[in-house]
């Protein structure tokens, strides 16, 4: 099975920021999410980037909710399941500390590793996110980056290294990779154009994307998440540079200016683009082969890995 023209399409259906008030098509509850993911899998997606929401739709990393979502997805299809350890900007994820800072809570974030996902996001950096008039500190110094990376290795989880700037690649990601916390291929998600909301994040342009790709450690493969109107051009650009693509309402609520999207529409469009440019969307099995799933340097299989499922 030749992988050279296979492109992994990741669907990020929900995220931790948007609300149904902004786009009524946004799936927030487990059954809604699972249905959307199934439609996107049918359209060509091979990885799902899951965020959990509470019954009131606000953000959480509650492992029970993640597990409920993961189960409903796995019951429908073999898509690769990825759970966020970033969480979101409200609900269980945030609290005002005694020092007056609002924070995205570390103790909540790490729960994202406990729901049996094959992959988890690993945000190896410290940012301030500005949302709804609040500045939310997401403090991830090097020691916490190591704690996340170690926690994933111990659970057999493959990290999706989520980076917003060349510094994130050159510093923590490279340090942790060199320290043996991941094995090649390293799967690095370049998130671009979230710079209006996140301190320490880069805008999207072809030049910026090229520069970020140039910074990747040897042995990496990459995916690009363009935020908002950058979603579509950044995906096309990723394909030109030999990368993989992410789409979905987490990153972008609109199909085009003034027209709200659905996850299925966004997936179908990017899959058309993948094919038009001469590539094929990878199946989940091919995506696992490309990304090196399951890890060979871990002794346990996450609950929702296909092999574990067989045994369960």
Dihedral, CA atoms, 129, 48, 159, 234, nearest 10 degrees? -60
Q: SS3 helix, strand, coil % of the chain, rounded to 5?
A: 40, 20, 40
Residue 171 touches a copy of itself, criterion: CB under 8 A:
yes
State the burial class of residue 55 (Cβ atoms within 10 Å of its Cβ: 0-12, 13-18, 19+). exposed
Per DSSP bridges, beta strands 59-60 and 52-53 are antiparallel
Q: Which of 96, 277, 297, 307 binds a copy of itself (CB under 8 A)?
A: 277
Q: Does 114 bind a copy of itself (CB under 8 A)?
A: no
Between 24 and 278, whose beta carbon lies closer to a copy of itself? 278
Binding partner of residue 84 among a copy of itself, Zn ion, none, CB cut-off 5 to 8 Å per kind: Zn ion
The position carrying tokens 């690993």 is 122
Q: Based on CB atoms, which residue is closest to a copy of itself, 143 or 296?
A: 143
Radius of gyration of the chain (CA): 18
Q: Locate tokens 């301190």: which residue? A: 199
Interaction between residue 97 and a copy of itself (CB under 8 A) = yes
CA distances from 229 to 183, 236, 251 (A): 33, 13, 9
Binding mask 55-94 for a copy of itself (x = CB under 8 A): ----------------------------------------
> Are 194 and 221 contacting, i.e. CB atoms less than 8 angstroms apart?
no
- At 221, give phi and psi (nearest 5°): -120, 160
Q: What is the dihedral of CA 210, 232, 197, 85, to 10 degrees?
A: -90
**Which residues on adjacent β-strands are paired with residue 159?**
120
User: According to the binding rule CB under 8 A, does residue 241 interact with a copy of itself?
Assistant: yes
Residue 269's binding partner among Zn ion, a copy of itself, none (Cβ under 5 to 8 angstroms by kind) is: a copy of itself
Can residue 131 be called a binding residue for a copy of itself (CB under 8 A)? no
- In the complex, the smallest distance separating the C-beta of residue 152 from Zn ion, rounded to whole angstroms, is 16
Nearest distance in Å: CB 207, a copy of itself: 6
Query: Is residue 41 near a copy of itself by the rule CB under 8 A?
Result: no
Nearer to a copy of itself, 20 or 272 (CB): 272
Report if residue 210 touches a copy of itself, rule: CB under 8 A.
Answer: yes
Is 147 a binder of a copy of itself (CB under 8 A)?
no
Residues that bind a copy of itself (CB under 8 A): 97-99, 101, 103, 125-128, 130, 135, 137, 139, 141-143, 164-168, 170-172, 195, 199-203, 206-207, 210-211, 232-233, 236-237, 239-241, 256, 269, 272-273, 276-278
């Amino acid at each position: 099975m030749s992988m050279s023209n296979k492109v992994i399409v990741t669907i990020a259906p929900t995220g931790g920021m948007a609300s149904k008030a902004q786009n009524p098509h946004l799936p927030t509850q487990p059954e809604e999410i699972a249905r959307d993911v199934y439609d996107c899998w049918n359209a060509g997606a091979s990885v799902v980037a899951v965020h959990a929401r509470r019954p009131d739709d606000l953000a959480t990393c509650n492992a029970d909710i993640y597990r409920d979502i993961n189960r409903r997805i796995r019951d429908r299809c073999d898509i690769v399941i990825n759970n966020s350890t970033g969480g979101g900007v409200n609900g269980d994820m945030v609290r005002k500390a005694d020092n007056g800072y609002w924070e995205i809570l570390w103790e909540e974030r790490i729960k994202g590793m406990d729901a049996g996902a094959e992959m988890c996001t690993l945000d190896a950096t410290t940012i301030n996110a500005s949302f709804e008039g609040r500045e939310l500190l997401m403090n991830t110094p090097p020691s916490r980056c190591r704690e996340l990376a170690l926690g994933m290795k111990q659970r057999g989880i493959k990290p999706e290294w989520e980076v917003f700037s060349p510094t994130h690649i050159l510093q923590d990601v490279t340090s942790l990779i060199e320290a043996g916390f991941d094995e090649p291929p390293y799967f690095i998600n370049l998130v671009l154009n979230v710079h209006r909301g996140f301190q320490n994040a880069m805008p999207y342009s072809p030049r910026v994307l090229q520069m970020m790709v140039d910074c990747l450690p040897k042995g990496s493969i990459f995916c690009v998440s363009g935020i908002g109107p950058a979603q579509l051009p950044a995906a096309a650009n990723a394909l030109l540079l030999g990368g993989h693509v992410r789409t979905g309402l987490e990153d972008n609520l609109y199909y085009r200016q003034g027209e709200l999207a659905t996850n299925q529409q966004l997936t179908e469009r990017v899959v058309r683009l993948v094919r038009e440019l001469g590539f094929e969307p990878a199946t989940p099995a091919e995506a696992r082969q490309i990304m090196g799933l399951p890890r060979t340097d871990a002794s346990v299989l996450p609950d929702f890995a296909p092999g574990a499922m067989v045994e369960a």
